[in-house]
Chains A and B, each alone.
Chain A
């Protein structure tokens, strides 16, 4: 077997490279793309999925012409963690009602960050609900905007009805180190969950 013209079939870099993914969720305008941009090694890109709403059984109810097309976009970035492991960050589409149409959007993700704008708590309710429903482990990151009031974390935990064992951290999504720390908080949380899952009962 001779692959003529295929210059490096055994290139080492392709050797064992694998990927992991983390979802960045939250309501519209909470800073998902900002966070992806600040921590990514590459300029964030956008990938799309074209969804045919004919698969959703609502057309007859509202009498709209069938086969409406909807495009759902994911902004994403990547971080080279080491020579053989790449982390992809995907900002979820703002319209949570379309999430279920993108099959397996959260499947295979290590976990998720749910960004919250403390000036508009309600905008992230739906994202939190979806994480719980799809059983995706997550941390809450309060994105501190310049005119955000100083809310004690516990007050916000109560308002959003976040379980005690789900971490709530604050961040500035524009800042690389701050965004990285949110990801670190997520991975630590995943490890702690693992530790407690491994403990004998």
Chain B
């Protein structure tokens, strides 16, 4: 029996504890997640998944940043990261980290900066 979510869901920390099964931080694949990392669904939001997992898969059919997901789902970053780690490990979502201005040993990315500049100039 899993009815729709009610406002009586446990608040705050209790709710997070339930959501994450008591885990306080992501490990492995999700430990590099950034607020600007884009999440893209790679599987259908099948029934039987945890409500929040399902919600993430549904919202990320088009790429959505971790920050936007957190805002829409009302979850703090560290809690969301735990849920995303589950989905990443199961191959249900793909994560794309933001492109840095320069990569290790690769020097400044002038082409990227040029692309950002022309995008801004078109605004």
* A45-B67, A81-B119 given; A88·B76 CB < 8 A: no
Q: Are A81 and B115 in contact (CB under 8 A)?
A: yes
Q: Are B71 and A45 in contact (CB under 8 A)?
A: yes
Q: Are A110 and B108 in contact (CB under 8 A)?
A: no
Q: Tell me which of B13, B107, B123 has the highest count of chain A C-beta atoms within 10 A of its own C-beta.
A: B123
B112 to A, closest residue via Cβ: A20
Q: Chain B residues with Cβ under 8 A from A198's Cβ?
A: 107-108
Q: Are A50 and B76 in contact (CB under 8 A)?
A: yes
Residue B89 interfacial (CB < 8 Å): no
* A45-B67, A48-B76, A74-B67 given; A20·B116 CB < 8 A: yes
* Cα(A109)–Cα(B116), bound, Å: 13
Smallest CB–CB gap between A113 and chain B, Å? 12
* A187-B116, A191-B113 given; A20·B99 CB < 8 A: yes
Interface contact tally, CB-CB below 8 A:
152
Q: Are A47 and B70 in contact (CB under 8 A)?
A: yes
Q: Chain A residues with Cβ under 8 A from B71's Cβ?
A: 45-47
Q: Are B107 and A197 in contact (CB under 8 A)?
A: yes
* Cα(A48)–Cα(B78), bound, Å: 9
The range of chain A's interface size is 35 or more
Q: Chain A residues with Cβ under 8 A from B117's Cβ?
A: 184, 187-188, 191
Cβ-defined partner of A184 (8 Å) among B63, B98, B107, B121:
B121
Residue B9 interfacial (CB < 8 Å): no
Q: Are B79 and A50 in contact (CB under 8 A)?
A: yes
* Cα(A73)–Cα(B95), bound, Å: 23
* Cα(A86)–Cα(B35), bound, Å: 13
Q: Are A21 and B36 in contact (CB under 8 A)?
A: yes
The range of chain B's interface size is 35 or more
Q: Are A187 and B37 in contact (CB under 8 A)?
A: no
* Cα(A45)–Cα(B65), bound, Å: 12
Q: Chain B residues with Cβ under 8 A from A190's Cβ?
A: 101, 108, 113
Q: Are A20 and B120 in contact (CB under 8 A)?
A: no
Q: Chain B residues with Cβ under 8 A from A184's Cβ?
A: 117, 120-121
Q: Chain B residues with Cβ under 8 A from A85's Cβ?
A: 115-116, 119
Interface residues of B in 21-37 (CB under 8 A from A): 34-37
Residue B46 interfacial (CB < 8 Å): yes
* A3-B43, A18-B38, A108-B97 given; A76·B120 CB < 8 A: no
The 3 closest A-B pairs by CB, nearest first: A81-B119, A194-B108, A6-B44
Chain B residues within 8 Å of A, Cβ to Cβ: 13, 16, 34-38, 40-44, 46, 61-63, 65-68, 70-72, 76-79, 96-102, 107-108, 110, 112-121, 123
Q: List 30 A-B contacts (CB under 8 A).
A: A6-B44, A8-B61, A11-B62, A18-B96, A18-B99, A19-B65, A19-B96, A20-B36, A20-B99, A20-B112, A21-B34, A21-B36, A47-B35, A47-B71, A48-B76, A48-B77, A50-B79, A79-B120, A81-B116, A82-B115, A82-B119, A85-B116, A88-B67, A108-B34, A108-B98, A110-B101, A187-B116, A187-B117, A191-B114, A193-B108
